[in-house]
Every structure is written in C-alpha cells, then in structure tokens.
Amino acid sequence: MTETWINLSCPRCNKTWSDSPTDLPDLDTEFTCPECEVVATMAEFLKTSRDLEIYKSLAD
Ligand SMILES: [Zn+2]
C-alpha cells in the first residue's frame, strides 16, 4: 500500500501541514484546525486542486 500525503491549509490562520488521507474524514465533514480551532469542512482545508483530486480518488 502506497503512503500518500495531502497538503492541508487552514482557511483562517493559514497553518499548513500534511496528513494521510486515510486518517481524515469525508470532504463535507466538519474538521477542526489543530492550531486556531476554527471549524470548516474538510474541503476548505485542502490546499490545492491536486490535493482535492487525490482525496476524491482515495475516497472511492
Ligand atoms: Zn487554523
């Protein structure tokens, strides 16, 4: 199994980090920033369209 990481970016504090998509919830699920604790949907934390595509492909 290939380890794939996606880049996340907080829409409020701009904290960026990487995480394994298998540890993350669905795109429309609310997620809490570990830094500023803002709550937004998972999709809003995805930094680039590439990360979004990876996320979608792994969700199938
Ligand atoms: Zn934040």
State how far the Cα of 48 lies from the Cα of 2, in Å rounded to an integer. 21
Q: What separation in angstroms does the CA of 32 have from each of 1, 3, 9, 25?
A: 28, 23, 12, 11
- Residue 52 within a domain: yes
- Residue 43 within a domain: yes
Rounded to two decimals, what is the model's pTM? 0.83
Q: Structural domain of residue 49, as residue ranges?
A: 6-59
- Residue 1 within a domain: no
State how far the Cα of 13 lies from the Cα of 5, in Å rounded to an integer. 21
39-41 and 30-32: which strand pairing?
Answer: antiparallel
Mean pLDDT, rounded, for 40-60:
89
- Residue 48 within a domain: yes
**Per-residue pLDDT tens over the stretch 23-44:** 888 899 999 999 999 999 999 9
- Residue 19 within a domain: yes
Ligand 1 (ion): residues with CB under 5 Å are 10, 12-13, 15, 33, 35-36
The pLDDT of residue 60 is above 80: no
Residue 30: per-residue pLDDT: 96
The pLDDT of residue 2 is above 90: no
C-alpha 4 – ligand 1 centre gap (Å): 23
Please state the domain count of the chain. Answer: 1
